[in-house]
Amino acid sequence: MSMITATTWVPRGHAAAFPTRYVFDEDEYARISKLAKLELDDAKEDLETARQALNKSNDGQEAGGVEMEEDANESDDEETGGVGLNGDGDDDDDLKEYDLEHYDDEPDAADAEEDEAGPNDSIFGNIKGLAYHTDNKDDPYITLAENGDQSDDDEREELQILPTDNLILAARIEDDVAHLETYVYEDEADNLYVHHDVMLPAIPLCVEWINAKPNHAGETGNFVAVGTMDPDVEIWDLDVVDGMYPAAVLGQSSQAVAEPPSEPITKKKKKKKSKKPNDSYHVDSILALAANRQHSNLLASSSADKTIKLWDLNTCTAAQSYDHHTDKVCALSWHPTQASVLLSGSYDRTIVAADMRAPGAAVSRWGVESDVEQVRWDPHNEQTFYVSTENGILHCFDARQLPASPEQSKATWTLQAHDQSLSTFAINPVVPGFIVTGSTDRTVKLWNIASAGAGPSMVVSRDLGVGKVFCTNFAPDVEVAFRLSVAGSKGAVQIWDTSTNKAVREAFATKVKMPEQSGDAKERMVGLAADTEEADEEEEANENGGADGGWEDMDED
């Protein structure tokens, strides 16, 4: 089984041109030892808990089961001629031949002397050592020393990331093994490949790119935060290949990572992990992450423990904790201009907009008819936000219209985008009114959100062959604004250049907001308005586009 549960793009220009290989020095060894000790302590505690539960269960059955067990053993002895099934029968005689009891014993002195016998006593005795051959300059087939530098240069070139490349991060589960894959997308060649990956401790549920270096105030970097079924948030350095452990951990284990590696590991028994929600760390699965783009040291996380945590990446500690919801909090989105306002969605079927600077202040709250799947602010209209729900509906709300109660919430419009769960949607950061929705019905739909009051209309609907759709994201850069990444239950990432579609070009080519300095990119986007006959014929054969979606204008009621 292979499945991709979450994806995100990395903007151009943030990745190192030549990522480095993981370096396992003494400081890193000390840091990893602390992490490993925490994991070992957790495993021991779990084992001890299981033993205690088993002992209690056995004690309750022991009194009534002893007599039956003795009768059964006597019956077995009679049938096997006095040898119990677990005793010293023929099976033990067969196993004695292999002397398994001494399998792990160190060799004795006599064996060691045999191992140190002369070279002529072995079948390999006439073969000279490797040092001889590498020092023998006359051997034309030995080129280890000569080609070492060339090999390093080739490897360095293979790892190179160009300024025109984009990174795409995908959280994958394959055969019960979880890992984070870093893809490189070469736009000119329309080529996507895995650059490197890292192993994850549990099933990943969300990923978020961050450009702040953990535990280093003011320093930028290229990192990713990963939320899993575990209550901790792991932060990995994307510029390091073959990393063994995260650069930082946000949670109850974070202190062990943040401490200086030179500090000795204390032998004091680690406190048992708390399962009760608190202000310092999550105690259940991490369901959503959101990095603050205006304050790069701030990362918000939400959890199945019903709380939201605001993390300070300078210290890798929770600065604040919020309990705005009464059920699992599954979606987060920072306001595009008001840096302190965070939007959150929950299984309690409410959406909250709160100023994170005032933990105890009243919050704005809206309600929907089904469990929330995702929430997003509109980057082109700071008063508008969207909510997708489990029953396939996309809601558009005006943040200025506050309901008296969540039950009295009235959306600007609602759109029955899919017949099944609307698991994901995204708003194009460059093209106003361009929205994509993805569903467990395996389809991806592109929508045109027209002017106020006109409502949305569907432009294209397509099955991209990724199975149930869990992730849809537009590329963040102007030059690749029409590139869309899609992934789902079949474990594949697809990149769709939506600009090759005639209906997309007709709907959005004139709406692209281009920076004045991006002359080349602007010229490229304006060229989208020109028809391409081959692309149009292909689209007409494969798409079901141009039809209006089933939207309802709530103001007409």
Q: Are residues 174 and 289 in the same domain?
A: yes
Q: Is residue 391 part of a domain?
A: no
Q: Are residues 311 and 419 in the same domain?
A: no
**Last residue of some domain: 302, 323, 344?**
323
Q: Are residues 281 and 165 in the same domain?
A: yes
Three-class DSSP labels, 301-365 = EEECCCCEEEEECCCCEEEEEECCCCCCEEEEEECCCCCCEEEEEECCCEEEEEECCCCCCCCEE
Integer Cα distance of 232 and 6 in angstroms: 17
Q: Are residues 173 and 311 in the same domain?
A: yes
Q: Quote the tokens at residue 499.
A: 């600009």
Q: For residue 375, what are the β-bridge partners?
A: 387
Integer Cα distance of 370 and 503 in angstroms: 32
Q: Are residues 300 and 431 in the same domain?
A: no
Backbone angles phi, psi at 248, to 5 degrees: -160, 160
pLDDT in tens, the chain (557 residues): 789 999 999 999 999 999 887 666 677 667 677 777 777 877 788 788 888 888 877 776 665 555 555 555 555 555 544 444 444 555 555 556 556 566 555 555 445 444 444 444 444 444 444 444 445 555 555 554 455 555 566 666 778 999 999 999 999 999 889 999 999 999 989 999 999 999 999 999 999 999 999 999 889 999 999 999 999 999 999 999 988 889 999 998 765 444 443 343 333 334 445 578 899 999 999 999 999 999 999 999 999 999 999 999 999 999 999 999 999 999 999 999 999 999 999 999 999 999 999 888 899 999 999 999 999 999 999 999 999 999 999 999 999 999 999 999 999 999 999 999 999 999 999 999 999 999 999 999 999 997 545 679 999 999 999 999 999 999 999 999 999 999 999 999 999 999 999 999 999 988 776 444 344 444 544 444 444 444 455 555 554 443 344 444 444 33
Helix (H, G, I), strand (E, B) or coil at 433: coil
Q: Count of H helices and E strands in the chain?
A: 9, 30
Integer Cα distance of 10 and 476 in angstroms: 8
Integer Cα distance of 304 and 284 in angstroms: 5
Q: Domain count for the chain, please give it.
A: 2
Output the pLDDT for position 87. 47
Burial of 329 (0-12, 13-18, 19+ CB in 10 A): buried
Integer Cα distance of 311 and 279 in angstroms: 11
Question: Is residue 206 within 8 Å of residue 6, measured between CB atoms?
Answer: yes
Output the pLDDT for position 85. 42
Q: Quote the tokens at residue 230.
A: 């575990």
Q: Is residue 292 part of a domain?
A: yes
For the chain, the distance separating the N- and C-terminal CA atoms, rounded to the nearest angstrom, is 47
Q: Are residues 416 and 303 in the same domain?
A: no
Question: Is residue 202 within 8 Å of residue 229, measured between CB atoms?
Answer: yes
Integer Cα distance of 215 and 301 in angstroms: 18
**Last residue of some domain: 275, 294, 323?**
323
Say whether pTM exceeds 0.75: no
Q: Is residue 355 part of a domain?
A: no
Q: Are residues 528 and 427 in the same domain?
A: yes
Backbone angles phi, psi at 322, to 5 degrees: -130, 145
Q: Are residues 299 and 187 in the same domain?
A: yes
Backbone angles phi, psi at 67, to 5 degrees: -65, -45
Q: What digits encode the pLDDT tens for the residues 467-483?
A: 999 999 999 999 999 99
Q: What digits encode the pLDDT tens for the residues 77-120?
A: 555 444 444 445 555 555 565 565 665 555 554 454 444 444 44
Q: Is residue 139 part of a domain?
A: no
Q: Is residue 123 part of a domain?
A: no
Integer Cα distance of 417 and 58 in angstroms: 55
Output the pLDDT for position 119. 46
Outline where DSSP puts E strands in 337-438: 341-346, 350-355, 364-367, 372-378, 381-389, 393-398, 413-416, 424-427, 434-438
Q: Is residue 527 part of a domain?
A: yes
Residue 39: which CATH number?
Answer: 2.40.128.630
Q: For residue 474, what are the β-bridge partners?
A: 484
Q: What digits encode the pLDDT tens for the residues 200-253?
A: 999 999 999 999 999 998 899 999 999 999 999 999 999 999 888 899 999 987
Question: Is residue 209 within 8 Å of residue 9, measured between CB atoms?
Answer: yes
Output the pLDDT for position 30. 74
Integer Cα distance of 200 and 21 in angstroms: 18
Q: Is residue 467 part of a domain?
A: yes
Output the pLDDT for position 33. 76
| Location of structure tokens 């080609």 | 147
Q: Are residues 193 and 308 in the same domain?
A: yes
* Cα–Cα distance list, 26 to 216, 236, 258, 262, 299 (Å): 20, 19, 16, 9, 30
Which residue range(s) make up the domain with 185?
1-54+161-323
With a CB cutoff of 8 Å and minimum separation 6, the contacts of 520 are none
Output the pLDDT for position 258. 43
Buried b (16+ CB within 10 A) or exposed e, 15-28: beeebeeeeeeeee
**Last residue of some domain: 264, 292, 323?**
323
Question: Is residue 349 within 8 Å of residue 391, measured between CB atoms?
Answer: no
Q: Are residues 453 and 312 in the same domain?
A: no
